[in-house]
Amino acid sequence: MTEPPTSLTGRTRLPLERTPEEEREEREFLDLYGAWEPLTPAGFAAEMVGFDRPWWVIGGWAVEAATGLRREHEDLDVSLLVCDVPAFVSFMAGRWHVWNNVGGVLHPLGGRDGRWPTVDEPASQLWLRRHAAAPWVVDIPLTPDHDGRWAHKLRPHETAEVAEVTWRADDGLRYLRPEYVMLHKARQSRAKDLLDLRAVLPVLAPDRRAWLRAAVADLDPAHPWLPRIAGAEPSVRRITASDWPALREVRLRALADAPDAFGVLLAEAQTQPEEVWRERAGGPSPILLGDVEGRPVAMGGLFLPDDDPGHAVVWGMWVDPAARGSGLGAALLRELLRLGRESGRTVLLHVTQGNDAARGLYEAHGFVGTGEWQPLREGSTLQVETMRLG
């Protein structure tokens, strides 16, 4: 059920880390149920053209749409209301075989005799494939409904219109809001779910973060995610001129820690006066700081040159060694890329030869090398390559 680290577009994705137990379970699953070749959200949407009932993407693909996190996806999960299953089965007739998975037991829906027009168990799933020898392509965990209104599986007292719990992305597809996705993921709390949580928390509004914390606490008052959701998780913010002391502090720490990653030397930056830092912090080119428990430990900027209105350049990316592995670098980069898209410019950056960790992060977010190299700074033997957002 695993998508390769490189997608059909050739853009690198973060590979998933799996325990030996998870690898064994996946092999047993495939041996029992057969092969999977999951569609992408766009691929499934093409099969749904003309279906007049609501459906939406859930799971890891919904996290990617909300955060920009590009990782491997083991499958494609979408959902629809239980009341719309008969319409879905009828819509797919003659093109796809629809199977109902109830606790691991499968039986077909529809068919020539119409024996099973819908599901008997609302808390079940639908699987699709072309024919008996074909691979499965999508998993559809069904969503209960109250008179056509969405109802939360884990919190049945919560109901809403589908439009209130989903959002429509730039690709035109509807996705489940990330806080609802993460509540379902909290039940398993696998390595990939923690990766998704790190990506989601910085983009949640305070009220939605509070909802997620309360919902996870209801699920398990001792859940290991609760401290992260409560605020120990890193956050990203855009600075203003008044933040210049924090910018100076973080920038000098970055230059001291990783002199081979930047074109400016520490000694040079230390002599720059307050007005330079103040102007930089409050200028039109955005600069972000990443905080952990209120302390800035990371930074990144997006330079918008006046003399080159077609390009925006990511610069100054750095995360304190103590905060690495927290997802803060990826969160900074995703927000910078969002700002870059808003500017309408082509986004570039430069990476030092041999800095494989940085290059891997950039490639995972869609950057590709251009083959254009130049010295890190005047007189340096180190080379940097220009990368362009694909």
Residue 3's pLDDT is what?
Answer: 32
Q: So what's the pLDDT on residue 233?
A: 59
Q: Which long-range contacts (CB under 8 A, 24 or more apart) does 13-21 make?
A: 13/70, 13/71, 13/72, 13/73, 13/364, 14/69, 14/70, 14/71, 14/72, 14/195, 14/364, 15/71, 15/72, 16/71, 16/72, 16/74, 16/191, 16/192, 17/191, 17/192, 18/191, 19/191
Q: Where are the domains of the chain?
A: 20-176, 235-389
- The yes/no answer on whether domain 20-176 falls in CATH 3.40.1710 is no
Q: Assign domain 235-389 to a CATH class.
A: alpha beta
State the residue for tokens 């000694």. Answer: 267
- Please, which residues bridge with residue 127 across strands? 99, 139
Cα(96)–Cα(100) distance, rounded to whole angstroms? 13
Strand partners, 389: 367
Q: Could you identify the residue written with the tokens 């990443």?
A: 290
**pLDDT value at position 114?**
65
Distance CA 390, CA 383 (A): 22
Half-sphere exposure of 6 (CA within 13 A, CB side): 7
Q: Tens of pLDDT along 291-314?
A: 877 789 999 999 999 999 999 999
pLDDT at 42: 97
Q: By three-state DSSP, how is residue 209 classified?
A: helix
Instruction: Please identify every stretch of the chain with a pLDDT value under 50, giving residue numbers as ranges.
Output: 1-11
